[in-house]
Structure 1
């Protein structure tokens, strides 16, 4: 049961050191990192249960490196599938081949694992450290003073914390309550996402981003013989069928050995924005993850950027709780420029994929020419893996 402080009564110990709103990968990573260092953190989430059919499916090398500190990297590694390559193709033609085997990391690959599994691993580790997620609770208001932040929840209870973190996604109530702008825009197309079982010419150790005149489609392997499909569509159905996904692959995927959909496990649609919070801090309120930045799924950067936000913010909060509040400004100064780079890369990939047909030949020639340069391929591998942000 959440404790309810009396109005204006902030004397002595607060209810919690840090209140985290949102128990997705970002919020769970932050809570686990704080709990591992003895910080009292309270996590609330609006969902009654944490299990979900999720959008994210990629954990990159740099993310695994930092998650070693929490004792979860090996657990994720055991649960995932190692993809050794990322390629950009126009139907059967390989335009840009990117390999990860030469990366200077203990994780020279892209780990394919669903967000639901990542959350379950983090939640289990959080429980081992003696903490839990309080559900279902929704933030409806927050008020700051010199002593901290008082949050009012949907059941009328209130929580006082020295710091509050919004890890509550693109439609962040924390960001809105704190008055932080969210600059950017959205793509005209909607996105289809589906998990399917395939046969045909579909690699099981490679993520493929297909460019075609009809639009973009990503085909990515997951454990258990499943493939994740992500595609741009002008008007996507709310629940895409197996036949709809098959039509996408027929129009955009491989032609010599086409993929055949045998089973649709799950499908959905969503609209993608490219936005960055104007600030990552408003007094004692901080933002992380999708509450701070959102972008196209091209490149699989979103969940990784949020987890890296959380690890950096955990360090900053430990310093702030010890009296160094300037560390919180340093967090934003470090992570916001990185978010701009991540958003920019995803946006470039998306716009290249959706180039108008008359520019297709020029685009393909440019990409294939650049990809002949080892330096270009190495740079892309470093960017996708996150190692460039070490």
Structure 2
């Protein structure tokens, strides 16, 4: 493979071209800051992965000029409906949220990345592929990023700052010597995009609780109105869940009515960690997205938190490059790390609540949810938390 060489120097190197890395690049490009965005993959991932974009993230993306384009390509969901078997436990509505985006947007991650990339290219930026970082060296005044390209040829680029947006197994975080404190859940998760007949309305996300585990079904944009995201906890998931696997799971845990899986578009299994970086900054190296925090998919918070990280970090770096003191970057960790800790705590509570198995604890949970969510203030608070509007 022939790879276009990178420049020898730049102001900011961004490692990782997922949603966080792309967002940081857009913020820098809008401010006219020279940067280089690199990714180890030869082409961008084409699977849907994260599929939820919350109101606060849409507000942030609106400031970057792309919320409307993304919303036009997604499915707007106004309701979150919680069930135990055929019994309805709670309904959380987003329609009254104090925002220009009073809904949750369901859109595959590859579409989100495509919209972000289109905006970056409008601003004159691009993604350089494939470049694998091998070493990051803080040189007390600059930082050197060593890499190998697609032809396994070594190289290096020197920058004022480096953003590590390279995921949970971040080489940038590792090279900076930043710890990643936390643990993992014992359950494994099934993740699948399917075409199916599903008996509930397409303007709601359904969460189904059962002794066997929790299952979330969310409607993805689709002209035939048949495409859904399925996320489920199981004791031991198959490596690539099949149509029969998904059909049996939904038949056992889903609502009354016809459930017929017609096609599995993509499926995977994964184990979930809940971890937060001990620091978001080490000298001239800063972290964003999954490199800084990972947690349960409950509530669809992960990608949203990462995009919000990157938008703030890009803005702060632009101000520093324009002459503000370097100490301004300390604001980033002070603002964003407490938010990540809150998100990890929230999703951990949700995950443990969803995966209760004994009859007494499930009965207590169901009664509490049913009673509490009859109170309008509680419902509004839950919607506000899920939408991440508190992160303003």
User: Do both share a fold (TM > 0.5)?
Assistant: yes
> Contact 1:23–1:44 (CA<8 Å) still a contact in 2?
yes
Q: Number of residue pairs matched?
A: 380
* Superposition TM-score, scaled by structure 1 size: 0.95
Determine helix, strand or coil for the equivalent of 1:133: coil
C-alpha displacement of 1:94: 2.0
C-alpha displacement of 1:368: 1.0
C-alpha displacement of 1:258: 4.3
> Contact 1:162–1:284 (CA<8 Å) still a contact in 2?
yes
2:387 pairs with one of 380, 385, 388: 385
Give me the whole-angstrom Cα distance separating, in 1, the residues matched to 2:183 and 2:383.
27
Which residue pairs with 2:175 in the alignment? 177
Task: List aligned pairs for 1:204-223, cutoff 5 A.
Answer: 204-223=202-221
C-alpha displacement of 1:377: 0.8
Task: List aligned pairs for 1:1-390, cutoff 5 A.
Answer: 1-3=4-6, 5=8, 15-154=9-148, 155-224=153-222, 225=225, 226-254=227-255, 256-321=256-321, 322-358=323-359, 359-390=361-392
Gaps of 5+ in 2: none
C-alpha displacement of 1:138: 0.8
1:130-186: per-residue Cα shift (whole Å, max 9, x none)?
111110011100111222110100231101010000000000000000000000000
C-alpha displacement of 1:237: 0.8
Give me the whole-angstrom Cα distance separating, in 1, the residues matched to 2:258 and 2:281.
49
1:60-85: per-residue Cα shift (whole Å, max 9, x none)?
11111111122111110110110010
> Contact 1:99–1:381 (CA<8 Å) still a contact in 2?
yes
> Contact 2:55–2:99 (CA<8 Å) still a contact in 1?
yes
> Contact 2:16–2:40 (CA<8 Å) still a contact in 1?
yes
Give me the whole-angstrom Cα distance separating, in 2, the residues matched to 1:27 and 1:94.
40
Determine helix, strand or coil for the equivalent of 2:121: helix
C-alpha displacement of 1:260: 1.7
Determine helix, strand or coil for the equivalent of 1:286: strand
Farther off after superposition, 173-182 or 146-155: 146-155
Cα RMSD of the aligned pairs, angstroms, is 1.1
Determine helix, strand or coil for the equivalent of 1:367: helix
Gaps of 5+ in 1: 6-14
* Superposition TM-score, scaled by structure 2 size: 0.95
Give me the whole-angstrom Cα distance separating, in 2, the residues matched to 1:258 and 1:176.
49
C-alpha displacement of 1:246: 0.8
C-alpha displacement of 1:345: 1.2
